[in-house]
A and B are shown apart, each in its own frame.
Chain A
């Protein structure tokens, strides 16, 4: 089974489809979180998923990573069906959740060992990988301190390391830089670029940060009220909307530009 999976993933050529959804929908009671999502993401690409709060980004990621069941429609991830082959999907994908759920009484090394063991990694190769990742993220000096004493940015770095630890073919990142300082954000951006280019790792990035998305992603999808409204390269989207940058284009598509008079109206 493992051999088959490896082989199947291994033969996925650049530009072959890694994520494919057809009419994907998800409802929570009367709330429709995702509506008829048709999407295709290709191997080695860096897909940016933009949208306002509550637009359905996180729900989509959770369905694609095998954590939620869709209400209707279908989706496949790296050739595996999200309805029936969840464990296969989990084995070859990495997920960085929006909020950190670290074990406060473990050190960074212990936590990464734990994540490695959950993903069937062990031994010297795991230890070397942990050392390298912590060193690269600037945490080597705090590697044996309990995570309870880490700042939120440092915790985010540990989570980034835990997401990449088992070398996933597809990485879901939910707001990866929201807690990071500019230099750490730049590091994560470079890490994404080099992994995508050198190892054909595919990134599916949910973010509010249009600058980050513009610099990092080669394809952008904008989701609003559960439906995909725009799809294209950052430059295409900017050109289509006649905007100066992605932020302006995003605001034109999603709405949210408020005039100066209205900004002061609350004082009356």
Chain B
């Protein structure tokens, strides 16, 4: 292990110069021993969310002391958020899974040996494959640098094609729509934009430190920042304008903005003629969507809609609509797929693709892989997936790289899925309808979960395979896309804390060996890492020293990766599968009346869904500042006789829960907002257990028709005061 080292004595010398006695004014924990202790600094990648920030872990006396951001890393740029700092202490959580476990009953697990775990899992998996075929086996993950290589290879080896990421609960509507509109994901060029519109996305709540910094910097240099959201999110502090919108109607706003851009001839005619197809059909469809019509649908005035459209038009191509991820075009509403299609179409009208201040295509490094002659890879399975993705008549346009994980419990109940592996992903808590999730996963003949803590999903597994934490292992190098691509690595910072936990590559390799498929894993992670870095001429040890290495920016040409190689206002693929080929208005499923609210939810800057709620430092923030509360609009609250801090009962057809209320002027009257990070129900997440309420309790299980996302904000609730 290579470590950047400096001695505590260096500090004492420096302190002597400024005549500060560290002895006199140091805090209690800087004991004599700690003062004398050497601090080692090891490069790592944060494990507290999916931004994967490059960071330095500072280790004192063999224990993690603190973390700091790597200046070269595109996500952190030298800074870390609260989750990153608190996540540094994750390895020391009292709720780690410390042994391979076998489920014996409700909340009852017995520790078993790895050998027993592997052999029993192999016997059951072989039986499922022989009886029902490998098409009934699935794997769902929140992808990690090492897992996303190892486990898909294992799935290929057993002949099972159904692999999911968590994105159907996050960004699948965007990603599928994008595939069929521009073919490449473009991101807002915050460094140079003059006018940027955000739909629901908040850089100050769903944090990647460099993105949050980019918003503050854009605001400081005078770019116009407009935030459309039913709730005044934290980013509005750095915005020029908050535009509250009726939940789920962002598509209408996009349609009307396009209408104004075309009607007032504010769009980029030459870009449209050179780089798009289907403009005539699009123009015809859009002609009915006047700002006056959209005002009725969205509750945003026609004047405001025209002003935004003109602002975007006047500043093009250095203007854009930011791409979002969860938000109205991610996984939240029935019209999410068409909302992102429209978002991409408006950006096309602005002619902003690959333009400074518009939408840029990030480019990632091209990592290598193993030499197949020495390390033969299993063939890709050719049989249909059991989640219906890529299957005609089911979800033909959804991306196989993401799939539909939350459909699996229902598929299990329907007899179409028989065995599952889930890694670092918690659909029982983080997908709608937890009762269905539990019932469905339990209908499987085999469920194996690998995680570091007792997630709700781990609690219902037949076997739980404990991974060591991010700080106790080295991972495969990871490529980072951006203006300047980079490559980073997570190195081992501390010794293994629980000797029975294993790195994920060891877990998968052990499984493969038990299935007599060890020959597909006849290499070490280090060999693979070197093969990945070879095309970049990067030495593994050099990367381990530096943590992040930035690569030269490649030429980034204006190319669209659709079938037509153009931006598709008209999608033939959509037409062929019976979906609207040009975006047209599609209402959300849920519209509030005078008795109900649309239940919206979102991240807080110090919490990553429910995964980080069990970190005591973070949960303490929520407890200290009452941040688990349900937001409702002040006028509506008055109408219901509800005061700030009152206990209320929130009811949908699926659940009734109690929570305290935050009465605020910062939310649309038709929306009620719950932070998404609470409501853990695993009794073995002892810090977070039963704190707050999860919006998923209220929401029915649904699968959107095109992208298959979970439509997580399509739910109405009633709110009534509880007399205490």
The answer to whether A binds B is: no
